[in-house]
Amino acid sequence: MRTVDELRQAAAEWLAQDPDPQTRAELRALLEAGDTAALADRFGTRLQFGTAGLRGELGAGPGRMNRVTVMRAAAGLAARLKAETARPGVVIGYDARHGSRRFALDTAAVVTGAGLRAWLLPRPLPTPVLAFAVRHLGADAGVMVTASHNPPRDNGYKVYWGDGAQILAPLDGEIAAAIDAVGRVDELPLGAEGDWTVLGDDIVEAYLRALDALPLGDAPREISIAYTPLHGVGAQVLRRAFARAGFPEPMVVAEQAEPDPDFPTVAFPNPEEPGAMDRVLALAERTGADLAIANDPDADRCAVAVPAPGGWRTLTGDEVGALLAEHVLRHTGGADRLVVTTIVSSSLLGRIAAAHGVRYAETLTGFKWIMKARTAPDDRQVFGYEEALGYSVGGDGGVPVRDKDGIGAALTVAALAAEAKRDGRTLVDLLDDQARRYGLHATGALSVRVTDRSLIGAALDRLRQAPPAALGGRAVTEVEDLARGAGGLPPTEGLRLRLSGPEGRARVVVRPSGTEPKLKCYLEVVLPPTEDVPQARARAEAALQAIRTDLRTALGLA
């Protein structure tokens, strides 16, 4: 731990190079007030660059997201790129959060000052547009300035490589080492406006053309949709995508339609969070819509709700993933097709893949892994998803975006719902069909947000050292430590427990969140195929709740 004098010295050195008057004023105020705790919070640690890039709270110091942190990251990225390419090119995108445009401009200035080419997206745009642009422009890397669905005070820095997918180890460590070697940012050579190319709307048009290859089918487009971008950047691009595909314009929640970095109508701008979809569901109910859709603020995630007896039902990410997978496989062909999901998502995708005679892979959590999955050299990935509302949908030519894409997913869900409506059916009917065919795969979650991250490690250690004999009345038959590389996967922090009982099987995965101070637990109960799906759902929900209750106790978080 740094002494008070060391903290003050570090703050003074930061002040001397910081180009941002706002964070300089923040630091001066802390120094004048003698606020040692606040200085330690900012200078006692630093944001670590990893496979998720950088993400954290805005503010001064190495423990925060700010212009110095971003310029150092850009300089490290530029150095790593120059180590393998003569004159690399980087495409840079940004959302509408506080500081995003400034961070994007700083990145462009640093990389062009280092002798690289740079393309800047024309305005705040969805993350999938940036991921698409990397391959479309033949860039060697991409940077997206976004904190996705994090709270308003956060921002982040997401790095893609030339294949259009997020970076993996060891590349993240190599970039981190290059960042560590960066000196003062006020001594970096900087490019000026005119040294980089500001792209026009043609990049958005190219992305929309790529979505033309999605398997939308030929069903009538007669479907009514209520939509919210949750104060993010998705609305304009989604409207254009729907119009291009021949769908009626979605009805948009007026008070959430425009980008607003303060996200004033939601506690957390994440459609998974309780209450986040309340306004779009109210709009859907008021207008008699067939479907409700929400994107998160950078529009890489997609949430779906449908009318059901007693009110609207929000589908889980696993339910949407299963529906989209089967839709894609019905509308594409070839035994070389590959579908991919993660170890925390439902096992149903494996059953669907087997039934359709296609290849299936399971990865660690995150699209950075999903997009790298292969079972054979000639794999053609047509679909990938994770339970956290992330989907990459493709057609016969594979996926057009090598990351989760909330716009493409929304478009395909709309096509699937329109096809079902034509046949006098609903998405719930299709889910019931899958339960009859493959067995009922019910998933749930237990998520605990903490203020002290050490509580997460303590809970995992407790579960490792004294795993329960049973959860929810089901025997724990196997405990796999994911840190040891279970199932041939790369090592990662977490545990997987397999359970058995009088009916069906169950599984629990426990892991720390990679982007938030949360312990996340993923539950699945699988019951045999049945014609009485409502009764099976009730039994499965009771089983999930019993497992959830016992798991909280086992983690010491009761």
**Annotated active-site positions, please?**
148
Q: Which residues does residue 265 pair with via DSSP β-bridges, in sequence order?
A: none
Rounded to whole angstroms, the Cα distance separating 345 from 421 reads 28
Q: In what order do the strands lie in the sheet with 518-527?
A: 440-449, 518-527, 505-512, 495-500, 474-481, 470-471
Q: Which residues of 220-230 are buried (b: 16+ CB within 10 A; e: fewer)?
A: eeebbbbbbbb
Rounded to whole angstroms, the Cα distance separating 111 from 73 reads 10
> First and final CA of the chain: distance in angstroms?
32
Rounded to whole angstroms, the Cα distance separating 368 from 372 reads 7
Kindly report the number of other CB atoms within 10 A of residue 199's CB atom: 21
CA 374 to chain centre: 21
| Secondary structure E strands in 402-473 | 440-449, 470-471
Rounded to whole angstroms, the Cα distance separating 229 from 259 reads 8
Helix (H, G, I), strand (E, B) or coil at 497: strand
* Burial class of residue 142 in the structure, from the number of CB atoms within 10 Å of its CB (0-12 exposed, 13-18 middle, 19+ buried): buried
List the one residue out of 53, 91, 98 whose CA is nearest residue 73.
53
CA 45 to chain centre: 25
Q: At what angle do helices 21-33 and 4-17 cross, to 10 degrees?
A: 160
List the one residue out of 418, 470, 471 whose CA is nearest residue 446.
471
Helix (H, G, I), strand (E, B) or coil at 528: coil
- Report the length, in residues, of the chain: 558
* Burial class of residue 417 in the structure, from the number of CB atoms within 10 Å of its CB (0-12 exposed, 13-18 middle, 19+ buried): buried
Q: Which two tokens stand for residue 260?
A: 């607003």
| Secondary structure E strands in 260-377 | 291-295, 302-308, 311-314, 337-342, 359-363
CA angle 53, 365, 177 (to 5 degrees): 30
Phi/psi of residue 218, nearest 5 degrees: -115, 20
Q: What is the CA radius of gyration of the chain?
A: 24
Rounded to whole angstroms, the Cα distance separating 184 from 174 reads 20
